[in-house]
Structure 1
């Protein structure tokens, strides 16, 4: 089977075009929303999402806290759907993130947040969906139809939408310039992963996926993709948090995939990896710059270290797709998953 036979691979390759279309189409909306958020000056930012979209929300959290200096918290949709709790969200902004915009619990939590006083913002691919039409503000992801159950191009679009929103909110010209370079950077990530790394990951039964700061957000997405496309049990941790108990699981043959920060978190990650390797763990890195190797998946370096994680997860998607096929699986159609997950 060749890579071109899967929708997942084709959609990975579309990411650069998607981001270019999104940035051009959303520019006016994003600028206006940035001005609105500056005027509102919310006390807190909240996010509403599940699955890959919740990994986008975690990335938004790190950017909002680092760049804007505002605390950001995820709201579990069951707060509205199961428990009927009434939150106090005056002077809050609530960002909902979804590919389909049709998951009932996400839609209901957004309604609840709006009733509670939050300014609601939806980042959605399907703009005729309930989540999109009911939000006060909309940032379309413009990823186009996504046929693979495993979201890739819509996930990249969600990460970029969050970064663009933060740049407009803060009025950060350098970050905006760096974001504008992403459409040209992402197509460079299309090289197939090293065969030795495919074999290394394919033989794993369990794995830690590590990151720190913004790379932790994409580590959570990578762990999710290993589970849904490859049926490999993978758990994401901060490289600091993994030492508080989980590291006891490290032993010969235990896989560790590390998304290497290119900022202040890098040295701490290196220390953690040394400790895990000493316990026998098989450590592979996703890192910026340099060349691929059996234990290293290289990606392009973005103009801002806050954006390099987007290049990292884009490159990792190709690895997950290749490992899935190596294991005889169809990454487009996981056995127990559907494109729209209808939880309540």
Structure 2
């Protein structure tokens, strides 16, 4: 099997076209949602999601809080679906993110948030799904069918929908321009060669994936993909958190993948890469690298808040190739299904 012949690879390659179509076709609905948020400034925001959608929610939290100042928190789904409690969020907003819109606990959480006073916005790939029926407003992801169990283009579509909403909510012209440039930039990111990491990761059993700010959500997504498609025990940390207890595990040869965007977190990432390298770790850092002991992975520049989207696109090509190199089928991870209906 070649990575290029897998559905994961083919679907990830569709992301630029998906993004272009989504930005075009969602202009009206996103403008409506953004106007509502400006006219009724939320008291707080809740984010609901599982798996890759939960990782998209981490990206959403950083973008919303840094762009609007609205306190944003992930919603523990079991509080409503298992413990039967309704969150009190009068005047708030709930963003429920899902590819299928079918998971019972996600639908229950969105329903509970609505009952607690929140305006519910569903970001979902399957229009007419149970989640869409619960929501006050649906922003379609428009990723099209995604047949590989490993989410790729639907994850990127989720990040775009969040960024589009925040750009219009805040009326940020720089972010709008960054979004308009993304389809071409995603094409360039897909062509970036991250094969320098393949030999080390092929032989690995454990590794850290590190990011910060908007990049932390994609670091979590990368760690998830390495677990499910490559059989690797990958753990995601922020550049701040990993300096505490997790640093004790880093020894000679320990692999570290660092996904760093070119914003105010960049210098910290480069300093940490040097610290890892000083311990003998095999460090791979997106973008430029000043330390000769650190392997630089080429990255595509863009709006700093959107660069994490470009990084995960480059990563997906690496993940598909690594999965095949390690003897896995990335489209059919063991014990996993496309839709996981948790309660």
TM-score bracket, shorter-length normalisation: over 0.9
Structure-2 separation of matches of 1:314 and 1:99 = 18
Q: Where does residue 185 of structure 1 map in the other structure? A: 185
The answer on whether the counterparts of 1:91 and 1:117 sit within 8 Å (CA) in structure 2 is yes
| Whole-angstrom CA distance in 1 between matches of 2:50 and 2:272 | 29
SS at match of 2:298: strand
**Residue equivalent to 2:173:** 173
Q: Distance in 2 between matches of 1:294 and 1:41?
A: 45
Query: TM-score, normalising length from structure 2?
Result: 0.96
The answer for the alignment partner of 2:238 in structure 1 is 238
Whole-Å separation in 2 of the counterparts to 1:94 and 1:83: 19
In the alignment, which residue of structure 2 is the partner of 1:78? 78
Query: 1:79: Cα distance to partner?
Result: 0.7
1:327 corresponding residue in structure 2: 326
Aligned-pair distance for 1:194? 4.4
| CA displacement at 1:295 relative to structure 2 | 2.6
Cα distance in 2 for partners of 1:245, 1:196 equals: 28
Residues matched between the structures, number: 341
Task: Quote the offset at 1:231 in angstroms.
Answer: 0.8
What's the TM-score once normalised by structure 1's chain length?
0.96
Q: Secondary structure at the match of 2:286?
A: strand
- What is the distance in 2 between the residues matched to 1:189 and 1:267? 22
Matched, 1:287 2:264: no
Indicate if the aligned counterparts of 2:256 and 2:284 stay in contact, CA closer than 8 A. Answer: yes
* Residue 226 (structure 1) shift: 0.5
Give the match for residue 249 of structure 1.
249
Q: Name the residue aligned to 1:271.
A: 271
Cα RMSD after superposing both structures? 1.6
Partners of 1:319 and 1:243 in 2: CA distance: 26
- Runs of 5+ in structure 2 lacking a partner? none
Give 1:294 shift.
9.3
Give the corresponding residue for 2:156. Answer: 156
Tell whether the 8 Å contact from 2:194 to 2:315 is kept in structure 1 after alignment: no
| Structure 1 residue 18: Cα displacement | 0.3
- Matches of 1:267 and 1:299, distance apart in 2: 16
Q: Name the counterpart of 1:41.
A: 41
Q: Aligned runs of 1:205-216 on 2, under 5 Å? A: 205-216=205-216
1:128 to partner: Cα distance: 1.9
1:306 aligns with 305
User: Residue 134 of structure 1: CA displacement?
Assistant: 1.8
Structure 1 stretches of 4+ with a deviation exceeding 6 A read: none
* Partner SS, residue 331 of structure 2: coil
Runs of 5+ unmatched residues, structure 1: none
Deviation at 1:75, TM superposition (A): 0.4
